[in-house]
Amino acid sequence: MSYEKVAQAKNITIGTKQTVKAIKNGIAKEVLIASDADRYLTAKVISAAEELKIPIIYVDSMKMLGKACGIDVSASTVAITI
């Protein structure tokens, strides 16, 4: 279901740095994090999202998350933006 949500979203931000930036700029509505991503990489995203009370959804696979975004590489974090 979450992969479909990403695939159907009109505006997304891919990657940890860009996701943190989207959260801090107030344009992230929801954040998706791959469970198999390195915790060191995703910690900043989780912290920023929790601080601003943005919903976090965990998905199983970085590879599937990247595919849902329409890219040929894995994605650890994605923000659905306004």
23-55 pLDDT tens trace: 999 999 999 999 999 999 999 999 999 999 999
Question: pTM score, two decimals?
Answer: 0.93
Is residue 82 within 8 A of residue 23, CB to CB? The reply is no
Give the model's pLDDT for residue 2. 87
Give, in degrees to the nearest 5, the angle at Cα 73 between 26 and 77: 25
Calculate the average pLDDT of the chain: 96
Distant-in-sequence, close-in-space partners of 68: CB < 8 Å, separation ≥ 6: 3, 4, 6, 7, 78
Whether the predicted pLDDT of 7 surpasses 90: yes
**pLDDT-based confidence at 1, cuts 50/70/90?**
low
In the chain, domain spans: 2-81
- Fold annotation for 2-81: 60s Ribosomal Protein L30; Chain: A; (3.30.1330)
- DSSP lists the bridge partners of residue 57 as 32
